[in-house]
Amino acid sequence: MSSSNSPTSQTSNSYVEQTVSVLSSVASYMRLPALASTGLAAVLTSLLYFKQKALIYPSNIPANSRSDVPKPSDFGISNFEELYIPTDDGEKLSAFYIRGPRGHKNSNITILMFHGNAGNIGHRLPIARMIINYIGCNVFMLEYRGYGSSTGQPDESGLNVDAQTGLNYLRQRAETRDHKLMVYGQSLGGAVAIKLVSKNQEAGDIAGLILENTFLSIRKLIPSVVPPAKYLTLLCHQVWPSESVLPNITKVPTLFISGLQDEIVPPKHMKQLYDLSAAPTKRWKPLPGGDHNSSVLEEGYFEAMSDFIAEVTGDTPQEKTRLKLLAFDEGDQMEGVEQDNAENHSPQTKGAEEKCIDAKMTDAEVDKACYMSQAE
C-alpha cells in the first residue's frame, strides 16, 4: 500500500522533490569553475548552510501543520490529557498523554513516541490508537519545539533538550514514575530516540528502544536522497550521528523495523545500524512492502512491536491474531460487534468502523482494519 495515496504523503513527496531540485541545482553550480570564481557558489553555499534547518525540519508540511493539530478525540479516543510542558531553556512543548485500556496487562508500560521530520503529533494519532488498542500500553506523544502547538524553532540541540524534557516528565509524573518505559522513534524521531536512550540507559527505567526507518546520519543520508549534493555534506551542522551514538547503547534492548521499499532512507542504513548495535537483545523486523511513510501499514508491524514489548518487559507474548481486512458495502449489516475498550471510543467513530469490520473481530482487529482502510 503506497503512502502516495494519502494527501499528507503527496505533500511530503512534493516537498522532497522540491528539496532535491534545489540541492541538485546548488551542487551543479558548485561544479562550474566560472561560477565559483564569481562568488556565486559562495552565495549559494551560504544560503544552503543557513537554510538547512528549514530543509531538515519542515514543520509546516503539510500546510497548516503549525496551527491545525488533530486531537485524540477526533479519532474516538476519550481517555487522554492535553499537556504543555516547559523546557529548561524556556520553551513550551505540547503533548498528548493517552491511557491504554484499564486493567490491561500492559497498563504499567508507557511508550514515549517521537515522530518524523514533518507534520505534528496529531497526524500520528492513528498509530497511537493502534498501540493502545492492540498492545494495551499508554502512549506519550511529545511535540518538538517549532512543531504543532509547541513554541520555539527546531534544531538538533533543541530537539535533544525536548526529548530529555519528555523523559523527565514521565519520570516525575506520579502516574508514570514507576512505569516501564519504551522509547519509539520514526525516521528523524529514531535519531532523537537513539540520543536520548544513550544518555539515560543507566537509570534502568527504559525497558526498550524501537526504531523505524531511521538513518546513519544526516551527512550519510544526503548522498542517497540527493546524489549531486554529496559534495555539500560538510556544510551540515545538523548532523544526528546515530551511527556513532547507537553502539554506546549497551543496556537497552532494541527493535529495528525496516521498510525494504523505503525511498527516502535506504534500508541499508537500518541494517547497518542493526549491525552496529551493542544492545543486550536486538531484533530485526523487515517489512518487504513498506516504504518510508507506509511501513506502519504493513502486516506484522504492530505484531512485532507487541512481541518485542512482551519479551523485554517479561510478559508472555500475546497470541497472534489473524487480522482480517474485509471490505463491506454501505448496505452490509454489522451485528454483534463488541467494543472491549469502549472507554477509548466515541460514538462518532462507530459509523466508520462498521464499514471495515467483521462482527467476529476483536477490538484490536477492528482498529487495524479501519486504520488501513482509511489510508487506502
Taking a C-beta distance cutoff of 8 angstroms, is the pair 196, 167 a contact? Answer: yes
Rounded distance between C-alpha atoms, residue 113 and residue 134, angstroms: 16
Helix (H/G/I), strand (E/B), else coil: 71: coil
Please, which residues bridge with residue 185 across strands?
A: 114, 211
Taking a C-beta distance cutoff of 8 angstroms, is the pair 240, 159 a contact? Answer: no
Expressed in percent and rounded to 5, the helix, strand and coil fractions of the chain are 45, 15, 40
- Sheet with 80-86: list strands edge to edge: 80-86, 92-98, 138-142, 109-114, 180-186, 206-212, 254-259, 282-287
Cell of 85: 510542558
For residue 33, CA distances in Å to 29, 49, 144 come to 9, 20, 41
Give me the residue label for grid cell 494495551. 136
Q: Exposure pattern of 259-291 as b/e (b: 16+ CB <10 Å)?
A: bebbbbbbbebbebbbeebebeebbebbbeebb
Rounded distance between C-alpha atoms, residue 266 and residue 259, angstroms: 9
Rounded distance between C-alpha atoms, residue 316 and residue 282, angstroms: 18
Rounded distance between C-alpha atoms, residue 221 and residue 225, angstroms: 6
Cell of 204: 534502568
Cell of 235: 556544510
- Catalytic positions, please? 187, 262, 292
Q: How many CA atoms lie within 13 A of 133 on its CB side?
A: 28
Q: What is the DSSP letter of 6?
A: S
User: What values do phi and psi take at 374, rounded to 5?
Assistant: -70, -30
Rounded distance between C-alpha atoms, residue 121 and residue 225, angstroms: 25
